[in-house]
Structure 1
């Protein structure tokens, strides 16, 4: 049910207030625009899908609400931070500072997966690589910048240590299917995991592939038709019962994806495996 027009939200988010209270990483002598104004401008441009062109078309009343400074006192005209200013400020901010603004109070499940920021590379520095933690509805929970010369595996413990993981289910791609990660999540974080298994963990992959999947019942099946093809996914789960030495692995999951091209009539299929510490 949508609230009636003009009715305030029951729990409004004071985004401007939160942004105003953030520590500004810039020198006090180089602040033509306030930090909150810069971040709000970047957010609005991202939502509009045109970071480089959005400011040119933004009306004056929108710039006023974003806190953009007045450049012509006689006319009351306002201007926005340049794309170069946006880039410098966003790169200077601690990645977790903005994540804290949207962090939910409870975390039933989170997903971890690295992202490289497009356009962040310079002639002297490589592109910025972040390791974010997201809720399943893609709300940002936390993130860290992966230092140059290290990997996401090194950064994972850092980003997860910022969170209370008790009772949380953590999902991650095959890069993070490591025995140390699984042990840390369950023994120290009191969390559960669902970790993708690929051939980078060959012994574990072969163990999962050899399980009696043909005898296992199908727990779920979905069928989707669109973009000229029909895609069917089936999910099966098998109790491992000590059949692998991977820490705390209680069950194995297999997802089989079958795709049929409606134009060419060709079919293809893929199979993905995962292990989980969940027992039900």
Structure 2
């Protein structure tokens, strides 16, 4: 019945009554595929009572484990990358309740959400970090990417304990660390990767530089600093560029990841941010 309810919601149903009507209209062979007796279809009250008793966190964890077991293994010589992203769920706001905010962990290669957890008004994404990743069985060798909110020492300690690697964006919430990164000798560092693309009426050039930070950066386990510079211009205004500089840190050593891999994982994280809702 839960599978049928999920299918109904995907088909556009937004109420228990609509779900019950969708189930009632199913062809007999489709109902049987969903495990429903065509001659004894569940009523609206039965569907409502069942769905209201389901533990959402347990259901999300179960689905995440099922999807993780079916996610293709990375190719030899590569690593799985998992992006952490928080999103406010579209369509979840009502007259009596605020919109749901969810922190999700998605496989970068497939976009499959491997785990998710609610972030209610009494907490925040930072406190749900461990709870989210506890749902994923094995993180050894995996690269976890996250935005600046999760550039936290406790998070790094957790990932290190799980045997995972990480790439974390650094912004103003870590002012001393951000200042240290901005003050590195980037002008003497060669470009390690360059990417150009066009889309949505604009052209963007992304360059990436990498510096080793064995000393001088006050953040545990940081091995390399990354500078990403994005220059954009509208195609109808070829002489007007805007430039954005973003910094990141990683525990990956130079022998553990090539520059193009770091660039791919950072781009993959931004891609996931645009896809998960």
Task: State if a TM-score over 0.5 links the two structures.
Answer: yes
- Look up the SS of the partner of 1:167 in the other structure: coil
User: Counterparts of 1:153-164 in structure 2 under 5 Å?
Assistant: 153-163=126-136, 164=138
Per-residue CA shift, 1:189-247, capped at 9, x if unaligned?
Answer: 11111000001110011111111111111111111122321111111111012111201
Match of 1:193 in 2: 166
CA shift in 2, pair 1:96/1:134, >3 Å: same
- 1:68 Cα deviation (Å)? 6.1
The one of 232, 235, 250 equivalent to 1:262 is 235
**Aligned-partner Cα distance in 1 for 2:53–2:91:** 12
Q: Are 2:210 and 1:243 aligned?
A: no
Q: Is the 8 A contact 1:41 1:80 kept in 2?
A: no
**Aligned-partner Cα distance in 2 for 1:65–1:275:** 49
**Aligned-partner Cα distance in 2 for 1:184–1:64:** 45
The one of 170, 174, 179 equivalent to 1:206 is 179
Per-residue CA shift, 1:56-101, capped at 9, x if unaligned?
Answer: 9x9746566445664xx6xx9x89979x96xx66985323232222
The one of 159, 169, 180 equivalent to 2:154 is 180
Match of 1:276 in 2: 250
Q: Is the 8 A contact 2:212 2:225 kept in 1?
A: yes
CA shift in 2, pair 1:89/1:259, >3 Å: farther
The one of 61, 68, 76 equivalent to 1:103 is 68
Cα RMSD (Å): 3.2
- Look up the SS of the partner of 2:211 in the other structure: strand
CA shift in 2, pair 1:80/1:274, >3 Å: farther
Of 143-152 and 102-111, the range deviating more from structure 2: 102-111
- 1:139 Cα deviation (Å)? 1.2
Q: Is the 8 A contact 2:210 2:227 kept in 1?
A: yes
User: Which stretches in structure 1 are left out of the alignment for 5+ residues?
Assistant: 1-33
Larger Rg: 1
Q: Are 2:99 and 1:127 aligned?
A: yes
- Look up the SS of the partner of 1:199 in the other structure: coil
CA shift in 2, pair 1:108/1:64, >3 Å: same
**Aligned-partner Cα distance in 1 for 2:149–2:164:** 19
CA shift in 2, pair 1:226/1:109, >3 Å: closer
Q: Which of the pair has the greater relative contact order for Cα pairs under 8 Å at 6+ separation? A: 2
Per-residue CA shift, 1:13-51, capped at 9, x if unaligned?
Answer: xxxxxxxxxxxxxxxxxxxxx222112333x43xxxx55
In the comparison of the two structures, how many residue pairs are matched? 234
Q: Is the 8 A contact 2:166 2:252 kept in 1?
A: yes
Large movers: runs of 4+ above 4 Å: 50-56, 61-70, 78-82, 88-92
